[in-house]
């Protein structure tokens, strides 16, 4: 950047102007990332044997639980199914036991409460005349404290009952999913459109594939779940991001399409990579598309603030000097400063809160003899004196 003085007699500048307009200003934060998931689900099986029949076709819409294909299992898969069923029954018994234990612990709390009431009444009741008053008082006091401690212990055990039930239920759910993987009849895990069928009748499903990949991939089903995108926001902008903010999203592989969505999650812990700190932000798209696949690269413009029906001028029209913000205008053919108060600023426009009216003309930049452009960006000047501008 070179500083030029406009006091020279031989320089005849020409000016670029702009009209003060009224409209909408939108401030955005730009971030890039990848598609975490689409609305597709991969159907797999751990059953080995021969594909007996397929009941659906590529492109067909299925309902959740609908039969997709039948497998003639080999001996090892039959044995695995029996083992998985046994594990499921064991897990089911564990859930029943956990629920029964909760009832027992609940009764323990009620008994402890009743015991405490009795000891309190005994302690506060008629002492009568006793030769061993101090000893009796000490005994009743100890009984009261013991009852209070017993009640507290009973409550603590009861409070842990729900956690035990949750853990047992989680084991039951896992056992059921494992059992489902051993069934020779494969059903749709969700409703949607079938695509990418990778098996055919008579095809042998190998145990080697199932063991190394966690199951034989059979097909995919595109459902109604909305795609999720994870983008990285820098440490300067993360404070502006909150949930439910709207965003526009473009994908590198689909340059001609723009998607909309909203922020559904903000991770403010962040991570540092080679000295650069970034924070993951989750964006859920409003709609999906068949061309969207997991891990696709994308860029999101997150709307952090928007103002409607406001006055605005280009950023290059704004000047600051000596703590005063102003624009330059022509009055009777001469350039004069006009103080302004600014609000929301973006890369394309600056909101004018006061100082200008709609339709007024402001100077944006000027060009001196020789083709050098003066201005072109928002500029801050130093002290008073010669009329100076920054040459870009």
Provide the pLDDT confidence category of residue 133 given band limits of 50, 70 and 90. low
> Which ranges of 15-74 does DSSP label H, i.e. alpha helix?
none
Nearest Cα residue to 31 out of 259, 294, 231, 327: 231
Which tokens go with 267? 């991770």
CB atoms within 10 A of CB 344: 16
What is the assigned CATH class of domain 2-20+314-391?
Answer: mainly beta
| C-beta separation of 46 from 210 below 8 A | yes
Mean pLDDT of 29-47: 86
Pairing of β 67-73 and β 185-187: antiparallel
Backbone angles phi, psi at 100, to 5 degrees: -65, -40
- 182-185: long-range contacts (C-beta < 8 A, 24 or more apart)? 182/46, 182/47, 182/77, 182/80, 182/81, 182/84, 182/85, 183/47, 183/81, 184/47, 184/49, 184/52, 184/70, 184/71, 184/72, 184/73, 184/77, 184/81, 185/67, 185/69, 185/70, 185/71
Per-domain residue ranges for the chain?
A: 2-20+314-391, 28-39+225-308, 42-221
Name the architecture of domain 28-39+225-308.
Answer: Beta Barrel (2.40)
Query: pLDDT for 145-187, tens place per residue?
Result: 999 999 999 999 999 999 999 999 999 999 998 898 899 999 9
Which tokens go with 303? 């709307």
Query: pLDDT for 310-364, tens place per residue?
Result: 999 999 999 999 889 999 999 988 899 999 999 999 888 999 999 999 999 999 9
Beta carbons within 8 Å of 157's beta carbon, 6+ residues apart: 105, 108
Whether the full predicted model's pTM is greater than 0.85, yes or no, is no
- pLDDT at residue 212 is higher than 70: no
Q: Which residue has the higher pLDDT, 144 or 369?
A: 144
């Amino acid at each position: 950047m070179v500083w030029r003085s406009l006091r020279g007699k031989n320089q005849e500048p020409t000016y670029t102007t702009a009209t003060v307009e009224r409209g909408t200003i939108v401030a955005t934060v730009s971030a890039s990332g990848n598609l975490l998931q689409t609305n597709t689900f991969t159907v797999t099986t751990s059953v080995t044997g021969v594909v007996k029949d397929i009941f659906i076709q590529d492109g067909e819409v299925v309902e959740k639980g609908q039969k997709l294909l039948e497998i003639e299992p080999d001996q090892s898969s039959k044995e695995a199914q029996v083992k998985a069923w046994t594990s499921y029954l064991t897990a089911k018994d564990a859930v029943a036991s956990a629920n029964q234990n909760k009832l027992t612990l609940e009764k323990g709390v009620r008994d402890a409460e009743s015991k405490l009431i009795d000891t309190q009444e005994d302690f506060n009741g008629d002492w009568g005349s006793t030769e061993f008053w101090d000893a009796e008082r000490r005994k009743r006091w100890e009984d009261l404290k013991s009852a209070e401690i017993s009640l507290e212990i009973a409550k603590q055990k009861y409070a842990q009952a729900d956690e035990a039930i949750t853990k047992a239920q989680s084991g039951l759910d896992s056992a059921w999913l494992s059992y489902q993987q051993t069934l020779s009849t494969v059903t749709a895990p969700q409703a949607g459109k079938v695509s990418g069928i990778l098996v055919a009748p008579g095809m042998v499903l190998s145990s080697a594939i199932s063991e190394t990949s966690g199951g034989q991939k059979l097909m995919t089903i595109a459902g109604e779940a909305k795609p999720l995108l994870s983008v990285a926001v820098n440490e300067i902008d993360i404070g502006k991001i909150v949930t439910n903010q709207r965003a526009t999203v473009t994908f590198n592989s689909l340059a001609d399409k723009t998607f909309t969505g909203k922020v559904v999650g903000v991770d403010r812990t962040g991570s540092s990579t080679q000295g650069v700190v970034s924070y993951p932000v989750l964006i859920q798209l409003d709609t999906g598309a068949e061309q969207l696949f997991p891990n696709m690269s994308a860029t999101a413009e997150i709307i952090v603030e928007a103002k409607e029906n406001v006055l605005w001028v280009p950023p290059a029209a704004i000047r600051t000097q000596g703590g005063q913000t102003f624009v330059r205008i022509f009055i009777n053919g001469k350039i004069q400063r006009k103080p302004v108060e600014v609000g929301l600023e973006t890369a394309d426009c600056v909101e004018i809160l006061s100082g200008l009216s709609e339709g007024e003309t402001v100077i944006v930049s000027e060009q001196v003899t020789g083709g050098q452009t003066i201005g072109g960006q928002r500029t801050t000047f130093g002290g008073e004196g010669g009329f100076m501008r920054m040459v870009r």
